[in-house]
Structure 1
Amino acid sequence: MTPEQAGLFAIFGSVFALLVWGRIRYDLVAFAALIIGVVAGLVPTDHAFSGFGHPAVVIIALVLLVSRALSNSGAVELIASRLISGDRPTSAHIGIMSVAGAALSAVINNVAALALLMPLDIEAAERAKRAVAQSLMPLSFATILGGMITMIGTPPNIVIAQYREGALGEPFQMFDFAPVGLLVAVAGIAFVTLIGWRLLPSRAGAEALLEQAETELYVAELLVGEGSKSDGVTLGDLYPMADEADINLLGLIRRGRRLPGFSRREPIQAQDTLVVEGDPKAIEGFMGKAGLDFAGSERHEGGITGGSLTLMEAIVPDGARIAGRTAMGMQLLYREGVTLLGIARRGQQVRDRVRLMQIEPGDVLLFLGSPERLDGAARSLGILPLEGRRTGVVQRRKAGLAIGIFAAAILAAVAGLVYLPVALAACAVAYAGLGLIGGGEVYEAIEWKVIVLLASLIPLGEAFEASGGAELIAGGIVDVTQGLPAWVILLALMVVTMTLSDFLNNVATTLIAAPVAVQIAGRLEVSADPFLMGVAVAASCAFLTPIGHKNNTIIMGPGGYRFGDYWRMGLPLELLVLAIAVPAILTVWPL
């Protein structure tokens, strides 16, 4: 072992230990390791920051942007809204949610897919009076499995595709991962649906978590626009939809005056305003199902379809500038660029128009506006935004257009007409032009910690390979498995990669294992493709711990899981993945 190899092994060993320890952010660990490598002369100075312009980094950032915009358009909601039912058996519910999660993860980031479907799964568990722990982990695992189907579904596939271009002269294409990834995903989903969930604990406590997550109930006003599906029906006709969305219908406003009583039998007319009560997400969801708009939203830079709007909850402290005044009196939209949509007042029933109510200290207010305007209004009005209580407004009228643009970008890239990063960038620009993602969201949507991690480790990985470190590890694996068939060596590489991925970030694991895969193939004098594909599959399959994949971390709290619970379903699933993937890889990508 040369001094250069020893130095790089020491850096990667320290990175591994610090990532497993978990007390220091992984992006800081990786960036510090890069700087140490440059200062020590192990990474060429002119390559120190080359990772930040690497195609894999660009693609991951753009996929996150596109995922956020598709979510904002309501494209995902078209699928998700049909999944909820408290009447289905547990296996049927898990199967439907898992298939939906895997399908979404194939075309958008798998973390985004889980974030979109997890609230629906929790809601279904609440309706069925079932512990959410039984279904949340299967959903998480299904989104991880679905990400393996396409190149853009999961970061390891993106990294492997771009690494192949550097090592072999041509990258994997968008659907090169599909034959193996689809087979593994189908087998994995069948397992979690029929067997896996039965291995999980049925702990009580999900209801308590749900109760803790309850928000204030706001009285808000929803506008009936021209051509709305609610135009012409009675208020009573909307009661089943309101019950499903978990909101209360309180009455009807016509020509600026509230009609007496609950107006249950009153036919709804265009330009009427419905008075509803519920939490922000429930109100926003009902608005979409009933074809309504937030009253006043049409004046926000072209209305609800004209820009990226957000609901913000904030409390009114003593001494706030808004206390003792009304929204109309303060001309909030004109002066601050925000609309007061709802008021929650310590459980009291609100009878006045929202914009005419005098605000009191202790009220919790619901505002509509762009994120930048909301932040400015909070400072100006002296109110205190509630942490973690912002809800994006879905721009449902643009769902079809958003799907069409995304499909066109992917088809153009697959057909070789446009370079994939350029196609995704054009898609993101189009979404920004349509107002599906705002200027602030462009930066919020990108997970910068992952970007810095990947960009920092790429130069280290290149230096590690150039120094012969990857060849050294590959030689060790080949020597240990000397005389055994090539499929056994592929299996050994996948087991090592899978084990690393359970404790390391999957991007870091891929960057370490990819050069080793190519070196092993070179020593065996066989194609490198099956070994690279094996690394892609294994790096994605982090099912044993809550730290191996971000999706596993996300579900730990809401599901009430303990560290050891992941082994119950994760270990047999990883064994199943190996049993399915190895023969599938060797069939599709022969040696």
Structure 2
Amino acid sequence: MTADHWTIFGILAVTLALFAWGRWRYDIVALVALLVTAGAGLVPADEMFSGLGHPAVVTVAAVLALSRGLLNAGVVDTLARSLTRVGDRPWVQVTALTGVVAIASAFINNVGALALFMPVAVWMARHGGRSPSFLLMPLAFGSLLGGTLTMIGTPPNIIIATYRAEEAGSAFAMFDFLPVGLAITLVGLAFIALIGWRLTPQRRRADDSDELFEISAYLTELHVPEDSKFTGHSLHELLAAVREDADVLVVGLVREGKRKEVPSTHEVLRTDDILLVEADSDSLKTLIDITGLELPSRDEDDKDDKANREDDEEHEDSTSESDKPDRSELTLVEAIITPGSTLVGKTAARLDLRERHGVNILAVARQGKRLRERIGRIRFVPGDILLLQGSEDTLQSALNTLGCLPLASRGLRITRPRRVLTASAIFLVTLALVALQTVPAAMGLVAGAVAMVLGRLIPLGEIYDSIDMRIIVLLAALLPVGQALETTGGSALIAEGLLDLATSASPAVMLAILITTVMLLSNVVNNAAAAVLAAPVAIKLAEGMNASADPFLMAVAIGASCAFLTPIGHQSNTLVMEPGGYRFGDYWRMGLPVSLLVVATAVPAILWVWPL
């Protein structure tokens, strides 16, 4: 091996180790890798940032923006709500949820699709008297399988399509991935629905008698306004008004700064009472609609909250009305606190979120532990689920800044209608233009994203917030590094090693080895990174076998998209870990047989559709 070989392999080895370690965010790791590669002279200085203009990067950004437009319009949310009528049988629920999320993930960002269906899955589990863990992992795996169906389903497919354009002169088309993707998706979903869900750990509550609430139950503060029709009436009368329509538990009452635990149902309500209520988000909305109780429009600070504040207490009182969110534009959003969030270890009273980010924390849910403190005094931990209130134009930006992942908006939108037909029409026209190859994929998808903006389906404040810049930076940084692997002869060297390893192996065995290797890689690093690094090797491997590169590139696409063994291989797996109560080692129990089925199904499907 030459000095350049040692250099590029050393850079990649350290990069992969840092990806697996997870201490640094993957986009920062990719940028460091690019800088070191350029510093070593393996990437020309004038080509260092060429990845920013790469068609794959532009396409991924456009797909993320299109996904936001569809989500904003309520296209997927409408479908999600219909799933609540599928019944209580476990295999029916698993089949319906995984099937629908797979279809949605073929056309929109699979993490966004998963986030919308998660509350539905938890609601189903709760009303069926089961642990959410039996539904959430199948849901995550369904989103990964569905991403393999189309070119826009997942970033690895977009990357592989552009590599094919460089190799063969034309990219894979929108539905070129469908035959192989459909085969593994159907086999995977059949296994998950019939057998796989039984392999998931059934996380039960530690003490059923204490009724520890699950992710869908929130501790919420509701204010009794001056004109409330329940002022002077008993708590029993208020609860009776919603008993048939909502599942509500009153755990406390705050009156004149004093709190009563589990108040009597004969307690007579007064103006300005604050009820501490446990309810899922749908029941919460029903309770508000029927009774006229109010969600707080600002942080309700009592004396204990003020003692905890680190910032100036008078700042909130002196804030002008123009600084407060316009209630006519307020919406509610559920979000999960990630391990790297700035909220971890802090309390709402200390964060002053309303003044700094224009959002209010209205409710908090924590798996396996009932929260009985006032909201302002709860110290947040990773995995807490927050119900946030704020302006639609500022919520997404606030979530990105705070390090929270949105789960779903809960329908309290007042000013923006759900333009399902408009969003669907724009998306279908875009899809047709790209599928028929009337325009290049990047051009067509960018045009669709612009149409979403012009149609006011994506507010101006969300245009760039809808694009995950971490993925964009990762791709833009790693594409030149992947090119350096090829120009130095590193990819050819790896391909030669694979050929020497399996000199007597059949093409089917080589494809199986390639899929398995990339699949294992994508379980410890970002799937887009796995595709960027493996694609040049696949091309050289095809050249060494005097075969078409198409089946090998397709194998890389499948392997990079199917990370079922760990919670860190894909954001979908990470997103369900805390709500499902999963441990790191739980994923392989269902993930290993699904991975083996994917390899066994993909290899013959690839050879049939894309012969050597």
Shorter-chain TM band: 0.7 to 0.9
Which secondary structure does the structure 2 equivalent of 1:82 belong to?
A: helix
1:15-34 equivalence runs, <5 A: 15-34=15-34
1:89-128 equivalence runs, <5 A: 89-128=89-128
2:430 pairs, out of 405, 409, 424, with: 409
Q: Deviations for 1:295-353, whole angstroms, at most 9, x for unmatched residues? A: 9xxxxxxxxxxxxxxx987444658669899xxxx994x6756128799xxxxxxxxxx
Deviates more, 1:422-431 or 1:88-97: 422-431
Which secondary structure does the structure 2 equivalent of 1:173 belong to?
A: coil
2:115–2:407 contact (8 Å) kept in structure 1: no
Once residues 483 and 323 of structure 1 are traced to their aligned partners in structure 2, the CA distance between those partners, rounded to angstroms, is: 74
Match of 2:326 in 1: 338
2:493 alignment partner AA? L
Match of 1:43 in 2: 43
2:246–2:283 contact (8 Å) kept in structure 1: no
Match of 2:148 in 1: 148
Match of 1:10 in 2: 10
Q: Against the structure 1 CA distance between its residues 511 and 405, is the aligned structure 2 distance closer, same or farther, given a 3 Å change threshold? A: same
1:469 alignment partner AA? G
Deviates more, 1:278-287 or 1:551-560: 278-287
1:314–1:366 contact (8 Å) kept in structure 2: no
1:190-589 equivalence runs, <5 A: 190-205=190-205, 208=212, 210=214, 214-218=218-222, 242-243=245-246, 281-282=281-282, 314-316=299-301, 332=321, 336=324, 338-339=326-327, 369-372=391-394, 392=409, 395-589=416-610
2:86–2:96 contact (8 Å) kept in structure 1: no
Q: Against the structure 1 CA distance between its residues 197 and 60, is the aligned structure 2 distance closer, same or farther, given a 3 Å change threshold? A: same
Q: Against the structure 1 CA distance between its residues 447 and 366, is the aligned structure 2 distance closer, same or farther, given a 3 Å change threshold? A: closer
Shift of 1:208: 4.2
RMSD: 3.7
Once residues 480 and 409 of structure 1 are traced to their aligned partners in structure 2, the CA distance between those partners, rounded to angstroms, is: 45
Shift of 1:444: 2.1
Match of 2:165 in 1: 165
Once residues 495 and 488 of structure 2 are traced to their aligned partners in structure 1, the CA distance between those partners, rounded to angstroms, is: 13
1:65–1:428 contact (8 Å) kept in structure 2: yes
Q: Against the structure 1 CA distance between its residues 127 and 481, is the aligned structure 2 distance closer, same or farther, given a 3 Å change threshold? A: same
Once residues 5 and 214 of structure 1 are traced to their aligned partners in structure 2, the CA distance between those partners, rounded to angstroms, is: 55
Unaligned runs of 5+ in 2: 226-240, 251-276, 307-311, 333-373, 377-386
Shift of 1:422: 2.1
Once residues 550 and 118 of structure 1 are traced to their aligned partners in structure 2, the CA distance between those partners, rounded to angstroms, is: 14
1:413 alignment partner AA? V
Which secondary structure does the structure 2 equivalent of 1:81 belong to?
A: helix
Once residues 543 and 563 of structure 2 are traced to their aligned partners in structure 1, the CA distance between those partners, rounded to angstroms, is: 27
Once residues 562 and 573 of structure 2 are traced to their aligned partners in structure 1, the CA distance between those partners, rounded to angstroms, is: 11
Q: Against the structure 1 CA distance between its residues 154 and 284, is the aligned structure 2 distance closer, same or farther, given a 3 Å change threshold? A: farther
Which secondary structure does the structure 2 equivalent of 1:216 belong to?
A: strand
Deviates more, 1:434-443 or 1:125-134: 434-443
Once residues 208 and 363 of structure 1 are traced to their aligned partners in structure 2, the CA distance between those partners, rounded to angstroms, is: 17
Match of 2:67 in 1: 67
2:527–2:570 contact (8 Å) kept in structure 1: yes
Match of 1:136 in 2: 136
1:243 alignment partner AA? A
Shift of 1:284: 9.1
Q: Against the structure 1 CA distance between its residues 189 and 370, is the aligned structure 2 distance closer, same or farther, given a 3 Å change threshold? A: closer
1:461 alignment partner AA? G
Shift of 1:493: 1.1
Once residues 374 and 107 of structure 1 are traced to their aligned partners in structure 2, the CA distance between those partners, rounded to angstroms, is: 21
1:247–1:282 contact (8 Å) kept in structure 2: no
2:217–2:278 contact (8 Å) kept in structure 1: no
1:241–1:286 contact (8 Å) kept in structure 2: no
Shift of 1:281: 4.5
Match of 1:303 in 2: none
Q: Deviations for 1:248-281, whole angstroms, at most 9, x for unmatched residues? A: 9xxxxxxxxxxxxxxxxxxxxxxxxxxxx99795
Q: Against the structure 1 CA distance between its residues 478 and 119, is the aligned structure 2 distance closer, same or farther, given a 3 Å change threshold? A: same
Once residues 164 and 389 of structure 1 are traced to their aligned partners in structure 2, the CA distance between those partners, rounded to angstroms, is: 34
Which secondary structure does the structure 2 equivalent of 1:522 belong to?
A: helix
Match of 1:351 in 2: none
Q: Against the structure 1 CA distance between its residues 241 and 107, is the aligned structure 2 distance closer, same or farther, given a 3 Å change threshold? A: farther
Q: Deviations for 1:146-195, whole angstroms, at most 9, x for unmatched residues? A: 00000000111011001111122110000000000011101100000000
Shift of 1:211: 5.8
Once residues 117 and 444 of structure 1 are traced to their aligned partners in structure 2, the CA distance between those partners, rounded to angstroms, is: 21
1:205–1:560 contact (8 Å) kept in structure 2: no
Q: Deviations for 1:107-136, whole angstroms, at most 9, x for unmatched residues? A: 001111111111110111111110111111
Q: Against the structure 1 CA distance between its residues 558 and 367, is the aligned structure 2 distance closer, same or farther, given a 3 Å change threshold? A: closer
Once residues 112 and 160 of structure 2 are traced to their aligned partners in structure 1, the CA distance between those partners, rounded to angstroms, is: 21
Q: Against the structure 1 CA distance between its residues 281 and 313, is the aligned structure 2 distance closer, same or farther, given a 3 Å change threshold? A: farther
2:536 alignment partner AA? P
Once residues 123 and 431 of structure 1 are traced to their aligned partners in structure 2, the CA distance between those partners, rounded to angstroms, is: 31
2:218 alignment partner AA? E
2:572 alignment partner AA? N
Q: Against the structure 1 CA distance between its residues 337 and 496, is the aligned structure 2 distance closer, same or farther, given a 3 Å change threshold? A: closer
Q: Against the structure 1 CA distance between its residues 335 and 524, is the aligned structure 2 distance closer, same or farther, given a 3 Å change threshold? A: closer
Match of 2:265 in 1: none
Shift of 1:463: 1.0
Deviates more, 1:160-169 or 1:205-214: 205-214
Q: Against the structure 1 CA distance between its residues 158 and 240, is the aligned structure 2 distance closer, same or farther, given a 3 Å change threshold? A: farther
2:246 alignment partner AA? D
Q: Deviations for 1:60-116, whole angstroms, at most 9, x for unmatched residues? A: 112111112211111111210110148421110000001110000000011111111
Once residues 587 and 342 of structure 1 are traced to their aligned partners in structure 2, the CA distance between those partners, rounded to angstroms, is: 50
Shift of 1:560: 0.6
1:125–1:132 contact (8 Å) kept in structure 2: yes
1:91–1:194 contact (8 Å) kept in structure 2: yes
Shift of 1:373: 9.8
Once residues 220 and 527 of structure 1 are traced to their aligned partners in structure 2, the CA distance between those partners, rounded to angstroms, is: 70
Shift of 1:144: 0.2
What is the aligned length? 500
1:86–1:124 contact (8 Å) kept in structure 2: no
1:490–1:531 contact (8 Å) kept in structure 2: yes
Once residues 448 and 221 of structure 2 are traced to their aligned partners in structure 1, the CA distance between those partners, rounded to angstroms, is: 38
Q: Deviations for 1:476-533, whole angstroms, at most 9, x for unmatched residues? A: 1111111221111111111111111111111111111111111111111111111110
Match of 2:183 in 1: 183
Q: Deviations for 1:454-487, whole angstroms, at most 9, x for unmatched residues? A: 1111001001101111111111111111122111
1:313–1:390 contact (8 Å) kept in structure 2: no
